[in-house]
């Protein structure tokens, strides 16, 4: 008869006494980790923390990881938001187990500090014994509760962590949630998993920007969601990028990169699949398993990888291929294409006008409220132009601290300032050489830099910080802002000469409330988010609401709402106004009144032709809509 499982404390005592402990008493990964720690000679009771890394060295480590950290930021912030009220901390460590960031609930920060769970501290397993950060670096993921920690002093913690890999299997770091034992639940592990999935999805987009992407899922409804497996093939049909979900589903590991050929997986050649035009969906049998597969056309993604990464990450690890269990779709589907509704409802020819300006090397200045889709428009513009095979490099002038934006844009020479990378930095302008530079939120560019930027635009020569010869660059410029730039000029906050240099022919993306076919846009977004295979449709009443609501957050708000609804309802649902959150239902404008038409008419002094033009609809449609309201 098998003996009953022992309480953890007893199992631990026996383990330390050298007795055999079964995996029924201690989870197997923990037991293995204890054995590793014992093998290294770690002492459970006597241990002194290594000293904390000096601030300057920590800053340098953060700088080395800045690229993926910046991309991971929205997911980390959302995770933090989700666990803060439970009294936990979120920790970000690099691939060497060094804590780079810690954000947390004040209740727990003190305790975290006492066990040196703090920025600048090393939490590798071979230094700290079994712990979620260090053990996740070994295994890919780990949850370590209370007395499962190898060192006595860490028993006051419970932690769950998962490693992050890029699409080439490079281990980048770890995300961890830590808290008091008993307060950490399985839901926190799922939250960490979801955050890492989101981060890796974004990293894949970046790596695979110029690859043919094959998506795989057991259920076709998952093909447009972050839960699908993703593989990136080059033009020769060789695998160059992968998601862990795809590798796990196919029983492969990272060594398949550079080796696996498209035809080995899909029977026919990549050319054959490509010849089927556009998005190609088929069934695929591999190792006895049946998958739905979808080949997406090559995307020209925003902000692709610089040709040479400044800090090549370490080689792939075996842990990189940890299996990901297929789970039912809990999250909204990802947008299938960056330009899903780029053209729908925009004033006729806006994209074409922008393209012509850019082709003639005339800067494009995009104006529009927040969330109208300026960034998406730029992606579509880049994809439509002759430079679509060259980089599109984005700089968000509002997101970079004033002190850093100069080096970010213009680059710097070796040793230009304290904390500078040893080999210097190329700067975004030079990264965009041959391609397109997108200056987002240009209205927020510090005044001191406006003059410098103007000089570059005129002379097309970049002078990196710290001296060195000026270098000629060939970039096409697109700038965008939600501010009224003319007003910023009048108020003296934006240089008039730069404004005229950029704004030869400003283009305005209309807010959603002015666009004539919001319901059509909503339908396009639903389709892009995979509503069709789930048989989810929009009721006429909800479409009417969508048309009449003023959408202060524009496309971003509409898109978020639709994604949320899709996540909440079952397959086969007819979406009605009842599904809306109460706050939105209450804010519904008076029934029947077509505010967009009325607003456009008011702005154009009652001139129906001008109002129709602004809305991008015909005059007859305008009258029809007026008649209805």
Residues 6+ apart with CB under 8 A from 240: 168, 207, 208, 211, 232, 233, 234, 257, 258
Say how many residues touch ligand ATP, by CB under 6 A.
Answer: 18
Nearest residue to 261 via CA among 281, 228, 236, 287: 236
Site membership for ligand ATP, residue 516 (CB under 6 A): no
Residue nearest to ligand ATP according to CB distances in the complex: 373
Residue 353 or 629: the one with the smaller Cβ distance to ligand ATP is 353
Site membership for ligand ATP, residue 511 (CB under 6 A): no
Among positions 50-109, residues that touch ligand ATP (CB under 6 A) are none
* Alpha-carbon radius of gyration of the chain: 27
Q: Show the tokens assigned to 95.
A: 């691939």
Site membership for ligand ATP, residue 116 (CB under 6 A): no
Hey, how many other C-beta atoms are within 10 angstroms of the C-beta on 583?
Answer: 7
Stretch touching ligand ATP by CB under 6 A, among 5-13, 111-119, 204-212, 339-347: 339-347
In three-state form (DSSP H/G/I as H, E/B as E, the rest C), the secondary structure along 485-509 is HHHHHHCCCCCHHHHHHHCCCCEEC
Q: Show the tokens assigned to 608.
A: 């129906």
Residues 6+ apart with CB under 8 A from 182: 146, 158
Dihedral of the alpha carbons of 429, 434, 435, 439, in degrees to the nearest 10 = 20
Site membership for ligand ATP, residue 341 (CB under 6 A): yes
Task: Give the shortest CB-556-to-ligand ATP separation in angstroms.
Answer: 4
Residue 372 or 420: the one with the smaller Cβ distance to ligand ATP is 372
* Binding-site member from 13, 286, 460, 556 for ligand ATP (CB under 6 A): 556
Whether the Cβ atoms of residue 134 and residue 96 lie closer than 8 Å to each other: no
* Binding-site member from 126, 152, 375, 595 for ligand ATP (CB under 6 A): 375
Site membership for ligand ATP, residue 302 (CB under 6 A): no
Site membership for ligand ATP, residue 340 (CB under 6 A): yes
Site membership for ligand ATP, residue 559 (CB under 6 A): yes
* Binding-site member from 201, 227, 374, 547 for ligand ATP (CB under 6 A): 374
Site membership for ligand ATP, residue 512 (CB under 6 A): no
Please list the residues that pair with 141 across neighbouring strands: 162
* Binding-site member from 245, 342, 395, 502 for ligand ATP (CB under 6 A): 342
Please list the residues that pair with 352 across neighbouring strands: none
Nearest residue to 346 via CA among 546, 521, 506: 521
Residue 126 or 343: the one with the smaller Cβ distance to ligand ATP is 343
* Binding-site member from 128, 170, 482, 515 for ligand ATP (CB under 6 A): 482
Site membership for ligand ATP, residue 370 (CB under 6 A): yes
Task: Give the shortest CB-369-to-ligand ATP separation in angstroms.
Answer: 7
Task: Give the shortest CB-337-to-ligand ATP separation in angstroms.
Answer: 8
Residue 369 or 594: the one with the smaller Cβ distance to ligand ATP is 369
Nearest residue to 172 via CA among 39, 54, 312: 312
Residues 6+ apart with CB under 8 A from 611: 597, 600, 601, 603, 604, 622
Site membership for ligand ATP, residue 229 (CB under 6 A): no
Residues near ligand ATP, by CB under 6 A: 335, 339-342, 368, 370-376, 482, 525, 555-556, 559
């Amino acid at each position: 008869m098998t003996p009953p499982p022992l309480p953890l404390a007893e199992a631990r005592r026996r383990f330390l006494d050298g007795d055999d402990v079964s995996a029924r008493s201690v989870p197997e990964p923990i037991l293995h980790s204890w054995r590793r720690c014992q093998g290294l000679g770690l002492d459970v009771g006597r241990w002194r923390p290594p000293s904390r890394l000096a601030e300057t060295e920590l800053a340098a480590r953060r700088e080395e990881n800045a690229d993926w950290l910046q991309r991971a930021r929205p997911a980390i912030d959302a995770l933090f938001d989700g666990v803060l009220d439970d009294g936990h901390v979120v920790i970000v460590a690099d691939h060497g187990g060094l804590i780079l960031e810690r954000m947390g609930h004040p209740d727990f920060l003190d305790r975290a500090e006492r066990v040196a769970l703090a920025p600048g501290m090393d939490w590798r397993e071979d230094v700290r014994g079994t712990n979620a950060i260090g053990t996740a670096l070994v295994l890919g993921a780990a949850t370590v509760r209370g007395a499962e920690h190898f060192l006595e002093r860490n028993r006051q913690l419970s932690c769950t962590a998962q490693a992050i890999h890029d699409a080439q299997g490079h281990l980048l770091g770890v995300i961890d949630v830590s808290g008091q034992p008993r307060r950490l639940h399985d839901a926190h592990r799922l939250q960490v998993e979801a955050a890492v999935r989101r981060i890796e999805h974004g990293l894949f987009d970046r790596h695979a920007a110029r690859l043919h992407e094959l998506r795989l899922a057991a259920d076709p409804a998952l093909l447009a969601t972050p839960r699908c497996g993703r593989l990136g093939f080059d033009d020769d049909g060789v695998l160059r990028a992968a998601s862990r979900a795809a590798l796990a589903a196919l029983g492969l590991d990272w060594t398949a990169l550079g080796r696996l050929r498209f035809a080995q997986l899909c029977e026919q050649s990549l050319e054959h699949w490509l010849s089927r035009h556009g998005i190609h969906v088929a069934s695929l049998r591999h190792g006895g398993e049946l998958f739905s597969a979808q080949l997406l056309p090559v995307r020209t993604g925003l902000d692709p990888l610089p040709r040479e990464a400044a800090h090549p990450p370490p080689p792939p690890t075996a842990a990189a291929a940890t299996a990901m269990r297929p789970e039912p779709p809990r999250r909204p589907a990802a947008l299938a294409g960056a330009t899903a509704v780029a053209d729908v409802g925009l004033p006729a020819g806006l994209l074409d006008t922008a393209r012509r300006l850019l082709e003639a090397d005339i800067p494009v200045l995009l104006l529009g409220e927040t969330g109208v889709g300026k960034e998406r428009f730029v992606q579509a513009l880049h994809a439509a132009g002759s430079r679509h095979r060259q980089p599109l490099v984005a700089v968000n002038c509002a997101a970079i601290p004033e002190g850093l934006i100069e080096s970010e844009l213009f680059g710097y020479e070796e040793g230009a300032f304290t904390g500078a990378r040893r080999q210097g930095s190329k700067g975004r302008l030079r990264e965009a050489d041959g391609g397109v530079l997108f200056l987002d939120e240009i209205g927020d560019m510090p005044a001191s830099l406006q003059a410098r930027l103007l000089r570059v635009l005129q002379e097309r020569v970049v002078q990196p910080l710290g001296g060195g010869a000026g270098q000629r660059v060939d970039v096409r410029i697109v700038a965008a802002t939600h501010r009224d730039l003319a007003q910023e000029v009048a108020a003296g906050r934006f240089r008039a000469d730069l404004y005229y240099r950029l704004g030869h022919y400003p283009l305005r993306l209309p807010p959603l409330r002015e666009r004539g076919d919001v319901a059509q846009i909503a339908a396009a977004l639903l389709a892009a988010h995979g509503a069709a295979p789930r048989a989810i449709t929009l009721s006429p009443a909800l479409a009417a609401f969508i048309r009449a609501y003023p959408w202060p957050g524009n496309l971003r708000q509409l898109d978020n709402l639709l994604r949320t609804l899709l996540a909440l309802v079952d397959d086969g649902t007819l979406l009605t106004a009842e599904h809306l959150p109460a706050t939105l239902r209450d804010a519904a404008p008076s029934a029947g009144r077509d505010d967009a038409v009325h607003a456009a008419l008011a702005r154009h002094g009652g001139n129906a032709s001008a109002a129709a033009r602004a809305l991008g609809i015909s005059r007859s449609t305008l009258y029809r809509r007026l008649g209805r309201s």
